[in-house]
Structure formats: structure tokens, C-alpha cells
Structure 1
Amino acid sequence: MYQELGRLILENVGGKENISNVTHCATRLRFNLKECKKVNPDKIKVAKGVIGIADSNGQFQVIIGSEVSKVYKEIIKIIGTIENQGDSTDKKRGFVGFFEIISGIFTPILPPLTAAGMLKAVLVLATTFGWLSRESQTYYIFNFVADTAFFLFPVILGYTSAIKFKCNPYMGMLIGGILVHPSYLALINAKEAVHFLGMPLKLVNYASSVVPIILIVYVMSFVEEFADKVSPKFIKFFSKPLITVLIMAPLSFLVLGPLGSIAGEGLALGVQAINGFAPWLIPVLVGATSPLLVMIGMHYGLIPIGFNELAVNGFDTVVGPGMLVSNVAHGGAILAVSLKTKNRDLKQLAGSAGFTACLGITEPAMYGVTLKLKKPLIAVMLGGGLAGLYCGIMGVVRFSSGAPGLASLPIFIGEARPMNIIHAVIACVIAFSVAFISMFVIGFEDIPNENSENIEIDKEEKPKRELVTDGVIQVKSISRGEIIELSSVKDDAFASESLGKGYAIVPEVGEIYSPINGVVSSIFATKHAIGLEGDDGTEILIHVGIDTVRLNGEHFESCVKEGDTVKAGDILVKFDKETVIKKGFDISTPVIVTNTSDYTEVIVSKFGKVNVGEDVLALA
């Protein structure tokens, strides 16, 4: 029963006295806890009715699925009303706050940086094999296209840092822009003494730098608050940004920029010192522990170090080699599970998840297989650690950014180190082979929930519908936008298909329409998620954006109510797309078939740009 599951979860998060706040979204319970050490996650995640657990944005989350509201109600019945002591996501301290900040700053810019890095790798391949001359204008243009994202790092990071530090992102871009303005670079190239406001100016080339702009924007967030307070209301529109830039320009050039540059260089020197003392240490640690770091979000702490190394030294020894072999090892272990298991569903999931892990996307493998079976984690760490040792001994580095997987091997090609790519390939072979063989030796429990807590959820009886099984059911697009793989959604519960199969769309407009004919079965209080039951028995969950529950319904407008009959193409929800994006939320919208098990196949039939009402998902 829901009451029993609620009691078990409550007991293993430390009881009522350990909860500062508890809410729920469309699929998961969200706990803000006073002491995380009181949580017993092993007891929670094996309980029947629990799909998985996650620790995100300072919240301990228990993923339940569409029945989450019923479990939440039972928990509230037990503990009563808890005075909200504040969402820890607003004022984070220590490691949790640091890693969330780094994640928020770097995650949005990974696609352009990956594109730039892979283009660099393609150029290296083209020139190495004689397909393109370095003297050609084509090479010249492609080369500066690839350099642009790195050169403009201060501008790009100025935007994402400002969003994370809750100040004007366009002012962040402006401050980043002054650091790489051609006139400032001309002063550097002139190599003459420069004075600003009567003080000597230390000329630093901030192109491709990481630490200075983050430090500058952090300080700007306080300066902007000051400018807002001292500006009279009737002239605030222009006085606030003017005061901000008048204060920040001198601070940036005379104090913060040079300090950030020194910190960045010190970070690089620290990594060099470790590599000089024990060149195998960092790749071994990263290769072996990457899955653990990803689970708790600490891998985000490595990202700025890797980018800083690329900016200062032109190569990265921290992130690239270790995470490459770890991801390939993850693929090897999960593909071994696919071959070894007798469970048809697990075989299918492990086969696809293992392949994507080798390409650098490990979330489906991690949350769909590894954490459920547990023992594959040992094989992954063995393979990643041994391959990391080889990387360290052979001095493997990456010369650009990119998703750490087999698809990004070209970023390990460097003219100055012709054997680097060979050693990277050998390391991948070691990682895959060791993890694959280890998985067969170690073995695993083929039925993940064999020793689960004996808690069953008896779902309420629903009027039985006659499913359409003699043909293909079409689920339509919910908006105008771009259809993407569900696995690419930045939410592990959706990406791993734990909640069901389906598709995701990045809407171009703030309007969501019904993909089927049926009734509205549920609307979440914050209006960001809606459940539908189709006339043909299909059960659909639409979740507008990622983690948008934190907006508490702001910027969302529901156009229907529970129990309404809708047809495909009827509008369900409106939302202020631009404001939601500006507040830092990903608007990728999963559309999940929550009763996936009722169908033999759930197949996305179209990717890319679509209009409202186009057939995009086939159920058979």
C-alpha cells in the first residue's frame, strides 16, 4: 500500500525531525534534509514502487513515477505540516553549492565547446591525411570558426555565470567582452606600459581564460545590487547599468582580472606539479572514480580545471583521459550484462545503454543498469582505473573539449605528440576489455529486485479499456519545435526511460497541445506537468521543461482541468518560454508513455523540426 511505502521512505530519510521541507513534482518526492548522513538510500531504492533515487540541487529525490502524489499524501498524513525552513537550493554552502554553481555555469555551454573541439579534431585529421592544406583559405576559415568558442570564453561564461549568480546576463556578456575587445588586445600586442586611472595596468590576455570572468561576475552580482539600491526609480533604467560598468571596468582590469589569471595559472601549475611527481595519479583516480563522481555531481568540479588546462597549456590531463576510459569501461561492463542476462527487458536496455556509454553518454547505463545491479560498478572502476594507469604512464592528453567517448577520439590527435592517439586507443581497448571480462567473472543478480522490500502498491481500480492492439497507435507532436532523443534529456529518470519510453521536444513557442484523444487525468499544482489517458488506453505524461517545478507555477497557465475531454491538437498549457529560459531552466519537454509495458514497441518515428500535430511516436 502507499501508506507502507510512505512509512519506509520516511523512516529511511531520517524521520520527520530530519526533514526541513518535502514537496513532490510529477514523478518524484523532493526532500530538503537537515543531515544527509541520516539517509539510508539502499533501503529506499530497492523498495517496490521506487524507480530510483537522485541527489540534485541540494535535494534528496525519490523517483516514484505517476503514483507519486499518492505516496506524498500518505507521508503528509504521517508527519503533518512541516514549517518550510527554506529551500536549500536558494542558499547553498560548501561542496553542494560549489558543484551546483559549476554545473550551472558550464553545462549550457558544453554543446558549442564540443562542436568547436570536434571541428578542431576534424581539421587535424584532414591535414594529417592530406585532404586539406594548412595554407588554404578553407582551412583558415574553418580554423578560426573552431577557435571562436574558446577565444570568446569570457563572453560566454559571462552570460552563464551571471545567470547562476542572479545578475543581468547581458551585463555579464558586456564585462566578458571588454576582456577580449580588439582594442585591449592591441594594447597587449603593443608591449608598452599602460596606465588606467593613474595606476599601472597589468596586461593579461584573457582570451580562452576561465577563472577571471567567473570571479569578476561573482563580484558584479553584488555591485549590481548596490547600483540598484542607490539608483532613483525614475532614472534606474540607465543609471543602474552605468554605475555597474563604471565600477566593474576598473575592478576587472586592475584587480579581479589579474587575480583570476594568477589563480588560473596556479591551478594549472598545481596539476603540473602532481603530474611531475606522479603522472599516473590523476588519470587513475578519475578513471576509477568517475561513476561515483557523476552520481554525486562532483565531476562538475573537474570541468573548470580541464578547461583551464586547455587555456593555459593547450592540452588537458585531468578530465579527458580519465573520463574517456571510464565511459568506455562503463560500456564494456553493461554490454557484458546484455550478453549474460536472461531477462529480455534488461538485455534490450543494457544493449542500447552500453553502446551509448562507449560514445560518452553514461546516464542510461548508470541509472538503468549499474545502480540497480550494483556489481557492474566494480567492473567499471577496475577497467577505468587500469586504463587510467596506462594513460598516466604514457602521458595521454586531449587537445580540445568534447564528450569523453569513442566518438571524440580525434581530439586526442596532436601533431606534437603523434603517438598520443595510439595510446588513447590502446587505453580504450584496455578499459573495455577489463570491464567486459570482469563483469563475466564477478557476475550479478539477474533479477534486480529479488531481495527487495516486500512492499506492493495496489493501484486503484480503473475502468478497464479495450486496448487497440490490432494496429499502430500514433502519438503526435505537442508543439512546434525539435524532436530529440529522450536519452539526451538532462534528467536521469527521463533519460534512462525508467518512467517509460517516449520522446522529448524543445518547443519553439510557449504552447503545449494534446498529442492524443482522451481525458485529462491529472494536472500538477505548478502546471508544469499534465497526465492524459487516451481513448485507446494510452497513458501519457507531459513534463514541460526540466526541474521547472521550482518555479512553483510562475509563468505557467493551464488551459484545461482534470476530467476534461481533449482531442489531439487541443491546447493544454501555455508558458512564458523566454522568461523560463532566462531564469536558467532547460525547456526540453519529455512526453512519456507511462504504460509502456502494455505495448510491444514504442518507436520515435520522426526527429528534427516538427509542427503541432505531426505523428512522431508509434505504439504497437
Structure 2
Amino acid sequence: MNEKKVAEQILKAVGGDKNVSHLEHCSTRLRFTLVNDDQVNVEELKQIPEVLGVNQTAQCQVIIGNSVVEVYNELKKMLTQKDPSADNKKDKKLGTVLLDFVISIFQPLIPAIAGGGILKSVLMLLNMLGVLESTTQTYQILNFVGDAPLYFLPLLVAITTANKLKVNSLVAVSAVGGLLIPGLAAMLGEGAALFSFQLQNVNYTYQVFPAILCILCYAQLEKFFTKISPKVIRTFFVPMMSLLIVVPLTLLVLGPLGYNFGQGFASIIIAIFERFGWIAVAILAAFLPFMVVTGMHKAMLPYVITSLGQSGSELIYCSASLAHNIAEAGGCFAVALRTKDKGLKATAISSGISALFGITEPALYGVTILHKRALYGVMIGSFIGGAYLGITAVEAYVAVGPGLASLSMFISETLPNNLMNAVIGLVISFVASFAAVAVIWKESTVEEAVKDPAEELACDEILTAPLEGQVIPISEVKDEVFSNKLLGDGFAIIPTKGEVYAPADGVIEMIYDTKHSLGLKTASGVEILFHIGIDTVNLKGEHFEPMVEVKQQVKQGDLLLKFDLEKIVAAGFDPVSVVVITNPKKVQLNFSNTDQVKKMDSVLTLSEGVGV
């Protein structure tokens, strides 16, 4: 993969660097906070072969897979340093803004918390096996190392919050660090007063919300004092005045407020578990496919991190996530066993292996969400596995994606059966999902996508040949994005003539910059993508000549694009051209009984999909 090139294409499709307010990444996807969401060209993003999927919620999420870090690094080099606040005039819903804020603060914390937590769980495992006694100084020192991310969690939160708010992160850390000084903690324990006001005894280590409120206040103070102070004294005056106000204010008001909110927040979640018991874990596990696809699972991060910081354990989300992750694996392996589609079989096997280790995006976007029966089976397996984990009250001690490699996150010094129950729940989730998908799976001409019923095809659509040549199944195309039907189902043609025709009346929706690809929306609402050649994007428009413009109305048989077939082949590119039905996916594809087609030959009839 050429990460730099992919980064350039993605940045252009999201509206350029001026439209990017904030960028971060998780294990498989890039997460953009944008100035104007309307500037995103989703279809252009989906055409990038390395992009597995696109999801727009509070953030624009671009699913990359295992190369996400490399693409992220290239994007960071391309983004100009700017203050986007002056440009961000677009009104956004409060819920969207809050979710974006939460994700931006908590998502970057996961690697440090997970690394420290796994270290502590490995130490407990070594102690259980008698390899390293917990009474030794070596064990205790390494345990301090593992505990450090949670102990100093307020400082980490200060950094991520300051980065999100675009203020000085070092001053932010200093403000929160003032709350953690051992001498101050001792004074609070004995009873302390500030300006004659009694201070609440709060232990700010392991806390999240006091730090967030502190930095929210500091951000406003920094902007205010920067605006009013003379430039000659700004270097010391702004941080001095900000610290002088924000730290006392946090001790008096913001800190106790954040601490009590955190206590109440965690108590509500625990109360839900105590009220509904195992059913809460089972239902959450069953609905995680939808939450992960939309990015809403990140809204659980504050609870998970708060729970770990306050009690050292968490017993709802991580258990549900374990059940779902392993159910995705079981479902994928069942699909691999039952399907006759070689491309889908390969995708299901690789995605199933990733899901076993806690990475579910390949399984979700490559298999589950595209195939309704697989989704139902995964939900069944997740529910059953989640029910067992909920009944046995399995606790997690690390905030990391549960899977085979991270099972040590369930090791407990006080609950000897906790790990065993987690393993049993893992097995139940896998077996239940595998069995459910294997039983209900049904091969069809085209699997139905899980989508809004409003997007279904209103009437049959007859398509004529968009190119002249030999028709081949899309599964035989030597490009996994197309052969695995990540963009949708369709067919391919090995062209004998360098011309692309409109297969139906419609309007041109998109012409790719490098001219090798264009999109058409038919009069009945079918969206069709034409992609000429494999990897021909590298020709940068050479040998391609569009004959239409975006938004132009066309009639069936009109010439859309000319390309020099001989020169493309001479340049070493595979000329096979792909025709993808990108929307709707819930359709039945009925091909004509012909291998060779010419202009105006009927090649395909689209009918409304039938339930599977």
C-alpha cells in the first residue's frame, strides 16, 4: 500500500485540510472531526481501494484496517496547523458535539490504559503460576508501572482534553497536576480550607471528570487572558493567571462537582445491572454490531474508564464486547463453511481470525452487515454468550478489545473463577454464533444488505451493456474491494472497445478526478459505479476522456466515456471493467444468458430483493 497516496485521496475526499478540525485513529479506522460535514464526498471515499467502509455519525469515520497507523501518520504530515474555531460556524446538534467531544478525549487514552492493565494482569498470571511472587520487589515495581496510567489518569485526560480544545497542554497538565500533589492530598484528608471555604476531601487520582471540568475552564481563561494581555508579558502572564484562577476554582467547585458526577454516573450503570442482571449484558452484546458500525460504542468509554478508575473493575461492557467479538468470529467461520462464493469465503476466514483477537471491523464491514442471515446469527450468539457472562458476573480489569490475546484482562486475585467463566463465555459465544449462522445461512444470487427499507428498489430496472466485451462474475475480478463486494454487487466486462455507454436513463452523479471511474443514478433511483480497469487510478487520467459532465442528464445508450484500450493494456494494466450497483443493495440480479455483449444488449435486470 502507498500510504501517502491513500492519505492524499482521503484528505481530498473529506474536503481538504481546511475542513479537518481534529484527526485521530483507533485500531482500524480514521476519525475526522470536520468543520463542515457536507463537504465530505462519501462516494469518492468508497472508491479508494484501501478504504473498507465509511461511516458518518458525530465524526467522519474512514475504515482502513491494519494500515490505519501508517495512513494516519501521512495525514498528520499533510494537515496544516490552524485554529479551526474561526471557520467552524456550522450549527451542529448538541448530541453530535458531545459525542465527538467524548470520543476525542477518551479514545486516545485506551492504548496507555490497556498497556498498563495487560501488564498487571500478566503479573497476576505469573503469580498464580508461581513464576513471580507478589511479595517480591520486582513484582511490586512492575505492578506500579502497570498502575501508572490509571493512577495518573487525570493528567492523561488533561492532555487529551487540551488537545481537543486546542490549548496549551503543558499548562493544562500543570493545572491538573496541582490536584495530585501528595502534600495537598494529605491536607484534604485532614480537613483544609481555601479563602475560608471548607474543601471537600477528594482523592483526585484515578479520576476523570474533575480533570475535564478543570481544562474546560482553563481553556476559556487562556483565551481570555491571551486576548487582554500585552504580547510582551503574555508568555508568563497567561499561564500564571490561568493557574491562579482555575486550580482554586477546581478545588472549591469543579473538582467536587466532577467527582460526584463520576460517582453518580458509574452508580447508574451499576444500578441498571443490578436491576436487570444478566439480561443487560446479553442485550448490549446483541446490539453491539449496530453500535460499532455507527461508532456509538465509543459512548461507553467514559463509563468503562470511570469504573476502572474507581473500583478497578468493570462488569457490563467488556463482557458484552467479548461475547460480540467472538460471535463475529464464529459467524464468519460459519459463512466460510457454507458459502460457495470464493471471494466471500476468503474474506470470512481472514475477518474471523481478526475477530478472534478482538478486531471486528473487517468482519462487520466485510461479512456481517452485508448479509442479513449472518447478522442474525451473530446477534443470537452474542446474546447467548453475553447472557452467560452476565449470569456469572464476569469482571474485566483492563480497557481493551476482548479477544484471545487479551484474555488476561479477566484474571482476578479475588475471583478465582472469573477467568474460567470468561473462557466458557467465549466458547459459548463462538459455538452459538457458528451454529446459528450455519443453520440459517442461505446462498442466493446476491445476498441482501441490511439497510433502510426506504432504499429498496421501487420497480424492475433493465440495464443494457455499458461496454462491449465478455461478461464475467464480479467475484473473478482481481481486486478484493470488488470481488468481495465491499461496495456492492454487480458484474464485470473484459472490454473489446474503449467506450462506456449509459445502461439506462439517468443523471451523472460523479466523475473521478483521474477519469477512470464515474457514477450514474438511474431514473428509478439505482446508483451505478463504473470502474474502468484495475489500478488505473495510477494513470492519473491519461488515456481517459469523459464525454459527459456531473449533473448531466443522459439517455440509455449515450456515450459516457472514451478510453484507449490498447494503451492501457500496453501500460501493463488489467482492462477488466467493473459495474457495481452501489445502492440499493437489496436487489435481485438476473443476468441475461450471454457471455459476449454489445451496445444496447440487455445484460441485467434488477428486481426488488426477497427476504432471506
Q: What band does the TM-score fall into relative to the shorter chain?
A: 0.5 to 0.7
One-letter amino acid matched to 2:55: A
| 1:407 paired residue number | 405
One-letter amino acid matched to 2:185: L
Q: What secondary structure, in the 3-state scheme, does the structure 1 residue paired with 2:55 have?
A: strand
Whether the 8 Å contact between 1:289 and 1:381 is mirrored in structure 2 is: yes
Query: After the TM superposition, which residues 155-554 of structure 1 pair with which residues of structure 2 at under 5 Å, given as runs?
Result: 155-188=155-188, 191-445=189-443, 448=446
Distance 1:90 1:425, change over 3 A: farther
Structure number, greater radius of gyration: 2
Q: Which runs of 5+ in 2 are unaligned?
A: 1-12, 18-29, 65-85, 450-456, 470-480, 488-512, 516-533, 543-572, 577-612
One-letter amino acid matched to 1:407: A
Q: What secondary structure, in the 3-state scheme, does the structure 2 residue paired with 1:415 have?
A: coil
Q: What secondary structure, in the 3-state scheme, does the structure 2 residue paired with 1:372 have?
A: coil
Q: State whether structure 2 residue 53 is matched by structure 1 residue 55.
A: no
1:106-145: CA deviations, max 9, x gaps? 2222111111111111011001111111111210111001
1:74-126: CA deviations, max 9, x gaps? xxxxxxxxxxxx98796543322222112111222211111111111101100
Deviation for aligned residue 1:312: 1.6
Whether the 8 Å contact between 2:53 and 2:63 is mirrored in structure 1 is: yes
| 2:110 paired residue number | 110
After alignment, is 103-112 or 354-363 more displaced? 103-112
Deviation for aligned residue 1:60: 9.2
One-letter amino acid matched to 2:303: I
Measure, in 2, the Cα distance between the counterparts of 1:265 and 1:119. 27
Deviation for aligned residue 1:53: 4.2
Measure, in 2, the Cα distance between the counterparts of 1:255 and 1:522. 58
Whether the 8 Å contact between 1:359 and 1:407 is mirrored in structure 2 is: yes
| 1:567 paired residue number | none
Deviation for aligned residue 1:234: 2.4
Measure, in 2, the Cα distance between the counterparts of 1:522 and 1:179. 56
One-letter amino acid matched to 1:141: I
The total of aligned residue pairs comes to 430
Q: What secondary structure, in the 3-state scheme, does the structure 2 residue paired with 1:54 have?
A: strand
Whether the 8 Å contact between 1:341 and 1:446 is mirrored in structure 2 is: no
One-letter amino acid matched to 2:187: L
After alignment, is 421-430 or 54-63 more displaced? 54-63
Deviation for aligned residue 1:192: 1.3
One-letter amino acid matched to 1:54: N
Q: What secondary structure, in the 3-state scheme, does the structure 1 residue paired with 2:190 have?
A: coil
One-letter amino acid matched to 2:314: D
Q: What secondary structure, in the 3-state scheme, does the structure 2 residue paired with 1:388 have?
A: helix
RMSD: 4.2
Deviation for aligned residue 1:154: 0.6
Deviation for aligned residue 1:173: 1.7
Q: TM-score, normalized by length of structure 1? A: 0.62
Distance 1:206 1:540, change over 3 A: farther
Deviation for aligned residue 1:228: 1.7
Deviation for aligned residue 1:260: 0.5
One-letter amino acid matched to 1:369: V
Distance 1:123 1:197, change over 3 A: same
Deviation for aligned residue 1:32: 6.1
One-letter amino acid matched to 1:211: F
Deviation for aligned residue 1:204: 0.9
Q: State whether structure 2 residue 144 is matched by structure 1 residue 144.
A: yes
One-letter amino acid matched to 1:378: Y
Q: What secondary structure, in the 3-state scheme, does the structure 1 residue paired with 2:348 have?
A: helix
Deviation for aligned residue 1:381: 1.3
Distance 1:282 1:456, change over 3 A: farther
Measure, in 1, the Cα distance between the counterparts of 2:575 and 2:383. 38
Whether the 8 Å contact between 2:319 and 2:395 is mirrored in structure 1 is: yes
| 2:499 paired residue number | none
1:132-186: CA deviations, max 9, x gaps? 1111121011100100111110111100111122322222222222222233233
Measure, in 2, the Cα distance between the counterparts of 1:352 and 1:456. 36
One-letter amino acid matched to 2:161: S
One-letter amino acid matched to 1:298: M
Deviation for aligned residue 1:450: 8.0
Distance 1:415 1:447, change over 3 A: farther
Deviation for aligned residue 1:219: 2.2
Whether the 8 Å contact between 1:32 and 1:60 is mirrored in structure 2 is: no
| 2:129 paired residue number | 129
Deviation for aligned residue 1:269: 1.6
Measure, in 2, the Cα distance between the counterparts of 1:138 and 1:53. 47
One-letter amino acid matched to 1:145: V
Q: What secondary structure, in the 3-state scheme, does the structure 2 residue paired with 1:375 have?
A: helix
Deviation for aligned residue 1:197: 2.7
Q: TM-score, normalized by length of structure 2? A: 0.62
Q: What secondary structure, in the 3-state scheme, does the structure 2 residue paired with 1:99 have?
A: helix
Measure, in 2, the Cα distance between the counterparts of 1:197 and 1:95. 38
One-letter amino acid matched to 2:178: I
Measure, in 2, the Cα distance between the counterparts of 1:340 and 1:89. 52
Distance 1:375 1:175, change over 3 A: farther
One-letter amino acid matched to 1:55: Q
One-letter amino acid matched to 2:261: A
Measure, in 2, the Cα distance between the counterparts of 1:181 and 1:62. 42
Q: What secondary structure, in the 3-state scheme, does the structure 1 residue paired with 2:210 have?
A: helix
Whether the 8 Å contact between 2:316 and 2:390 is mirrored in structure 1 is: no
Distance 1:296 1:417, change over 3 A: same
Q: What secondary structure, in the 3-state scheme, does the structure 2 residue paired with 1:244 have?
A: helix
Whether the 8 Å contact between 2:35 and 2:88 is mirrored in structure 1 is: no
Deviation for aligned residue 1:246: 1.1
Measure, in 2, the Cα distance between the counterparts of 1:388 and 1:89. 43
